[in-house]
């Protein structure tokens, strides 16, 4: 059974195996397929048009399924690997062990933002940025960039307290839990973390940085935490709604999975706590 | 059936998408600047002024496309336009931009942070690019 752990609690061996599995997916070309899928959706999802992966109710179930797919690919390489999550309310500085050379490597250097240590640095020769929006082929970061720091636990708790999953107009203007977690309104949780990391993480090709998966695993956990706090609340909309994935509609690109199928994560994985 | 919109192209099985890095510049014209904005709720982007300036050594330009709200593409499967009524370039290369429901803007290089108007968005892109050229924008 897959157990997703806090990245701060991983053993050295677990980190080593996770990194090795990422490198193998990269080498085989499968990693970049995920970058490509994400970028296609983020550019295609619009507030007044069809929207599936982002700025819509299905942001959470879409990313849950996307991460399950990715985790399965990792497990084809190494069955012991599970996606860890990054609780950015706790590990909130560039000196966190997450960013050490034995795990994801640190921030980028001044001038060009190039990450200089760890397995994902250009110098390792194993992590070229192929699906990109500009010509730079190396991983970049600017940890701590952005106008604000990472979200705090109090900010997260305020969003988790919101009892309604989502609301019309079901986009970046919505009130409710989903949009406040996604960050287009309110304290800004998920979006702000992308900006804080900087580099490719601020772009449509954000999965180029392996921290994408750890960030979204935590966002996914927050959805599970919200469900536990609001057992009478559920996914909305239930009724068919134009341009939006309702509870029992299938989601692209899979076309065989609905938000209803994704509400319970426990058939796929559990969390460490 | 109307011409394939950018949205339609994006809607195909994502694994089949040609990567941005691999795509050729000629595909740009096929996808952008054609269909109308589906936004009927905000002030039209055609009301926004054009700009043309050199910012940190890069030429940034922006102008209304003049098509927003004029025809078709008001949502629906596969019919969603990807023209938000305004076009931005950096050194002549198109920057993919998107308008949010509240009227703010994002681009493909600043996709998780909103900007009040396209010029600020273009300047933010220049900062983020640190001199690098944009990859020609295309998905097919």
pLDDT digits (tens, 9 = 90+) for A138-185: 999 999 987 789 999 999 999 999 999 999 999 999 999 999 999 999
- pLDDT tens column, A176-227: 999 999 999 999 999 999 999 999 999 999 999 999 999 999 999 999 999 9
Residue A266: which residues within 8 A CB-CB, separation 6 or more? Answer: none
Percent of chain A with pLDDT over 70: 100
Q: Where are the alpha helices (DSSP H) in A96-237?
A: 153-160, 177-182, 190-197, 211-229
pLDDT grade for B38, boundaries at 50, 70 and 90: very low
Distance of CA A87 to the CA centre of its chain: 12
CATH T-level topology, domain B45-67+83-129 = protein ne1242 fold (3.30.1880)
Q: What is the mean pLDDT of chain A?
A: 97
CATH number for the region A2-271 comes to 1.10.1280.10
User: Is the pLDDT assigned to residue B139 strictly greater than 60?
Assistant: no
Gap between the Cα atoms of B5 and A135, Å rounded: 26
Give yes or no for A34 touching B (CB within 8 A): no
Query: E strands of chain A, at which residues?
Result: 3-4, 270-271
- pLDDT tens column, A5-32: 999 999 999 999 999 999 999 999 999 9
pLDDT grade for B46, boundaries at 50, 70 and 90: low
Cα dist. A107→A23, A50, B100 in Å? 19, 36, 30
The structure's pTM equals: 0.88
Domain ranges of chain A: 2-271
> CA of A197: which chain B residue's CA is closest?
B112
Give yes or no for A112 touching B (CB within 8 A): yes
Which of B112, B121, B129, B133 is best to mutate for the A interface (most A CBs within 10 A)? B112
From chain A residues 189-248, the ones with a CB under 8 A of any chain B CB are 190-192, 194-195, 202-206, 242-243
Domain ranges of chain B: 45-67+83-129
pLDDT grade for A106, boundaries at 50, 70 and 90: very high
Residue A95: which residues within 8 A CB-CB, separation 6 or more? Answer: none
Contact check, Cβ <8 Å, A37/B39? no
Residue A264: which residues within 8 A CB-CB, separation 6 or more? Answer: none
Q: At what angle do helices A12-28 and A59-77 cross, to 10 degrees?
A: 90
- The answer to whether A177 and A187 have CB atoms below 8 angstroms apart is no
- Which residues of A fall within a CB distance of 8 Å from B100? 47, 55, 172-173, 184
- pLDDT tens column, A218-255: 999 999 999 999 999 999 999 999 999 999 999 999 99
Q: Which residue has the higher pLDDT, B43 or A226?
A: A226
Report the complex ipTM: 0.94
């Amino acid at each position: 059974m897959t157990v997703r752990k806090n990245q701060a609690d991983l053993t050295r061996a677990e980190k080593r195996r996770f990194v090795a599995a990422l490198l193998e997916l990269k080498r085989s070309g499968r990693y970049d397929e995920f970058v490509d899928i994400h970028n296609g959706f983020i550019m295609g999802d619009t507030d007044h048009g069809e929207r599936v992966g982002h700025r819509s109710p299905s942001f959470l179930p879409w990313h849950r399924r996307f991460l399950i797919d990715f985790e399965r690919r990792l497990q084809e390489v190494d069955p012991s690997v599970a996606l860890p999550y990054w609780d950015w309310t706790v590990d909130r500085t560039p000196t966190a062990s997450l960013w050490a050379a034995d795990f994801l490597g640190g921030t980028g250097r001044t001038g060009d933002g190039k990450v200089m240590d760890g397995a994902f640095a250009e110098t390792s020769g194993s992590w070229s940025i192929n699906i990109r929006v500009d010509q730079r082929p190396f991983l970049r970061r600017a940890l701590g960039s952005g106008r604000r720091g990472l979200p705090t636990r109090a900010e997260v708790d305020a969003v988790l307290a919101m009892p309604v999953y989502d609301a019309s107009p079901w986009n970046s203007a919505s009130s409710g839990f989903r949009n406040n977690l996604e960050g287009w309104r309110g304290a800004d949780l998920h979006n702000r973390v992308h900006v804080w990391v900087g580099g490719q993480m601020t772009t449509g090709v954000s999965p180029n940085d392996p921290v994408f998966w750890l960030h979204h695993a935590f966002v996914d956990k927050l959805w599970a935490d919200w469900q536990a706090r609001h057992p009478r609340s559920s996914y909305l909309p239930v009724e068919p709604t134009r341009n939006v994935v309702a509870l029992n509609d299938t989601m692209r690109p899979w076309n065989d999975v609905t938000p209803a199928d994704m509400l319970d994560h426990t058939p796929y994985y559990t969390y460490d706590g | 059936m109307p011409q394939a919109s950018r949205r339609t192209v994006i809607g195909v099985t994502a694994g089949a998408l040609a990567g941005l890095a691999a795509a050729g510049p000629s595909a740009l014209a096929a996808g952008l600047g054609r269909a109308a904005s589906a936004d009927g709720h905000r002030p039209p982007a055609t009301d926004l002024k054009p700009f043309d300036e050199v910012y940190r050594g890069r030429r940034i330009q922006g102008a209304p496309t003049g098509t927003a709200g004029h025809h078709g593409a008001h949502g629906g499967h596969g019919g969603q336009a990807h023209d938000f009524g305004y076009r931005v370039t950096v050194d002549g290369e198109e920057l993919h931009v998107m308008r949010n429901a509240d009227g703010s803007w994002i681009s493909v290089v600043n996709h998780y942070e909103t900007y009040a108007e396209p010029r600020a968005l273009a300047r933010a892109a220049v900062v983020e690019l640190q001199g690098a050229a944009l990859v020609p924008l295309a998905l097919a």
